[in-house]
Chain A
Amino acid sequence: MAELKNCLLPEDLRYHIEYNVWIRDNADGTHDIGMTDIAQSMAGAMIHCRPKKVGKVVKAGKSVATVESGKWVGPVKSPFEAEILERNDAIEADATILNRSPYTQGWIVRVKAVEGDSALAGLLDVEAAAAGFAAYMAEKEIEECIHCEGFDG
């Protein structure tokens, strides 16, 4: 687990800096997409998360879910064109899971990359992501990540 200003970045994930998301390779042709620790810290306490419907094909850069918090509303974007295979109903019932468990219970959608694994080539490993997020946090003037009670890292 890499750590950057109290922000955790698991080593088994890949990342997209601008969209502030992680991608997990499930090794069965599917991938999970979720928000990073940095994203949940920036958003603050989550109020709602609405993933898109199963079967929907989302183009690269388009949203797989919409998130509302007390101080932010916006999309969770997919870095690659993907078909949504499954959505995490638990986070629609309790969006604070995204704050408490951004990397495990807080996966948002399970997808299949339309172009296969080649679509994932532009994603960053944890080492490159740490450098990218350091610059991102400096630009956004984010001092550190904030973890709520029950945060499971």
Chain B
Amino acid sequence: MDEGNVVVFVTSGPETSQRCATPFYMANIAAAMDNEAEMIFQIDGVLLMKKGVADNLMAKEGGKRIIDFIREAKEAGVGMRVCSAALQLHDMTEDDLIDECDGVVGAAYMTDQGLDASLVLCY
């Protein structure tokens, strides 16, 4: 399906780095296929949006850095938002977020996005 909207929920973080590249890749592909693509980071996923964390993080040793996956997805037009409760969980504030992050959202927003999506992916 194309020209729908795809929402990618990311709960995986640096402790399971092998799970951290695919969500950006899939969001990038979705955007390249002219879908609206949005990523929402919850639980440990918000750490991927924290300044400095993705800079030297790789899904596989010697592979592409997660920050490069983030930048490519961003360039493709993927929206990236973090869960407000997950920020609190990790004692983070909006000032801790990288420039690629589009903002902080609440549970109702996330639920609405999931309900309205053509495709929901969870990592």
Stretch at the interface among B10-18, B29-37, B91-99, B115-123: B29-37
- Residues in A whose Cβ lies below 8 Å from that of B76: 74
User: Which chain B residues in 4-57 approach chain A with CB under 8 Å?
Assistant: 25, 28-29, 32-34
- Least CB distance from A62 to B in Å reads 5
| Cβ A63 vs Cβ B34 within 8 A | yes
Contact of B33 among A63, A71, A72 (CB under 8 A): A63
Tell whether A2 is near chain B: CB-to-CB under 8 Å. no
| Cβ B2 vs Cβ A75 within 8 A | no
Known: A66-B29, A73-B28, A73-B29. 20 other contacts (CB 8 A): A50-B33, A52-B2, A62-B34, A63-B32, A63-B33, A63-B34, A66-B32, A66-B33, A68-B29, A71-B64, A72-B72, A73-B25, A73-B32, A73-B72, A74-B28, A74-B32, A74-B76, A75-B32, A75-B33, A75-B34
Contact with B along A55-87 (1 / 0, CB 8 A): 000000011001010011111000000000000
Q: How distant is the Cα of A52 from the Cα of B32 in the complex, in angstroms?
A: 12
- Least CB distance from B4 to A in Å reads 14
Closest to A63 in B: B34
**How many A residues face the partner with a CB closer than 8 A?**
11
- Residues in B whose Cβ lies below 8 Å from that of A75: 32-34
**How many residue pairs between the two chains, A and B, have CB atoms under 8 Å in the bound complex?**
23
Of the four ranges (under 10, 10 to 19, 20 to 34, 35 or more), the interface on chain B belongs to: 10 to 19
A-B contact pairs, 13 of them (CB 8 A): A50-B33, A52-B2, A62-B34, A63-B32, A63-B34, A66-B33, A71-B64, A72-B72, A73-B28, A74-B28, A74-B32, A75-B32, A75-B34
- Residues in A whose Cβ lies below 8 Å from that of B32: 63, 66, 73-75
Q: How distant is the Cα of A117 from the Cα of B32 in the complex, in angstroms?
A: 27
Closest to A70 in B: B64
Q: 9 closest pairs, A vs B, by CB?
A: A75-B32, A66-B32, A74-B32, A66-B33, A62-B34, A73-B28, A63-B34, A73-B29, A73-B32
- Least CB distance from B77 to A in Å reads 10
- Residues in B whose Cβ lies below 8 Å from that of A68: 29
- Residues in A whose Cβ lies below 8 Å from that of B28: 73-74
- Residues in B whose Cβ lies below 8 Å from that of A66: 29, 32-33
